[in-house]
Every structure is written in C-alpha cells, then in structure tokens.
Amino acid sequence: MAKLDVVVLGEPILRQKAHKVLDFDGKLHQLLDDMLETMLDEPGVGLAAPQVDVGQRVILVRLPDDAASVEEYGEQAGVLYEVINPEIVKTSKEMVDGVEGCLSIPGFAGRVERHVGVSVRGQDRHGKPIRIKAQDWLARVFQHEIDHVNGVLYIDRAGEVWQITEQPPEVAEPQGRIETVAVSPGEK
C-alpha cells in the first residue's frame, strides 16, 4: 500500500462528476488499498477517489474504533465500507444538523443539514452488488462521500462555515474563497 496525496479545494477534480467504474481489477484494488492507508493516516472517517486525484466513483467509509467510538457507534465502529459506483436510493424524511469537515478543505468546518438515514446501493471491489442501510453519523458520512463523486462539497450545503485551525501554508487561500465557492451555483 502507499499513502496518496489528498488534493484540496481549488483542484478542478473536486468539482467534476466522477466516472463509473467498469473494471473491477487489480488496479481498482490497489486504489482501494491506497485510499484506506491514506484515510487512516490522515485520519479521516471517509474518503472519495476524486480527493486523491482519481476521477472514479469510489468511496470508503469507516467510523473510528477507539473505546469512545465503540460505545457510541456499537457494531458500526471500525467497519470498513468500500463502495464502488455508490448511489443513495432511499432517504429518511427526517433531517438533522451536524458539523462536518473535509480532508480536502483543511482548517474549516461547517454546519450541514443531512438525512438522518439513507440506503446506499453500489458494488464491492469484485463488482458484486451491495446495499447498506445507514443511520446517524454513518449516514452523514455516506452522504458527504457520495457528494464528492458528484463534484459536490459540504460547503455547498452548509448553513455556515468557519475556520477551526490556522490554514496550512499550502492552501493559503483567503477565507473569502470558501464563501465564494459556497454560493456559486455554476460550479456544481
């Protein structure tokens, strides 16, 4: 496995609709393994292929499995979901506000309204159809990651976005950039 570079806001690939995966081959498996290493190293609870500069419909989701997370998420803690060509096929009517961040938008967080529950359909790394029912935080992470393969970022949906840490020098964009992107419908 190899750790991949995560691209940040401003890279066009984050705004493009990713391609459907047709080949469930060794190259895909390598991508999935590298994405896992990258996600665990960052660390993050989800990662989409466009974030590592690969325009394919591939996402990973994994809630942490430390003691506190096991208590909070039960059996979902530490389960790795690899979903190829993911689609949300059902959503709860009920919505909930929550705070999100994104590895591709370092130093910021935002408040986003999401469905409390979603059903996700897709394929595993061998092309076999899978379906996942997710609730609460797991459902939120799936919605965030599936947005990524459609070129949508949480800041597009956020009611408010704020800075949480000093911005790393490599993404030294003014905060106004975030606001601009958030209100620009042309970019979707």
Residue nearest to Co ion (CB): 102
Sign of CA dihedral 71, 72, 73, 74: positive
Q: Choose between 102 and 181: whose C-beta lies nearer to Co ion.
A: 102
The yes or no reply on residue 178 touching Co ion (CB under 5 A) is no
Residue 57 neighbours by CB under 8 Å, 6+ apart: 18, 19, 20, 21, 49, 84, 85, 86, 149
Stretch that binds Co ion, among 16-24, 61-69, 94-102, 116-124 (CB under 5 A): 94-102
Residue 145 annotated in active site: yes
The yes or no reply on residue 146 touching Co ion (CB under 5 A) is no
Distance of closest approach, residue 144 Cβ to Co ion, in angstroms: 5
Distance of closest approach, residue 7 Cβ to Co ion, in angstroms: 11
Number of CB atoms found within 10 A of residue 54's CB: 18
The yes or no reply on residue 102 touching Co ion (CB under 5 A) is yes
Closest CA to 188 of 129, 147, 160, 159: 147
Residue 72 neighbours by CB under 8 Å, 6+ apart: none
Which residue in the list 145, 170, 173, 187 is annotated as catalytic? 145
Stretch that binds Co ion, among 2-10, 95-103, 107-115, 177-185 (CB under 5 A): 95-103
Site string for Co ion, 43-72 (x = CB under 5 A): ------------------------------
Residues that bind Co ion (CB under 5 A): 102
The residues that are catalytic are 145
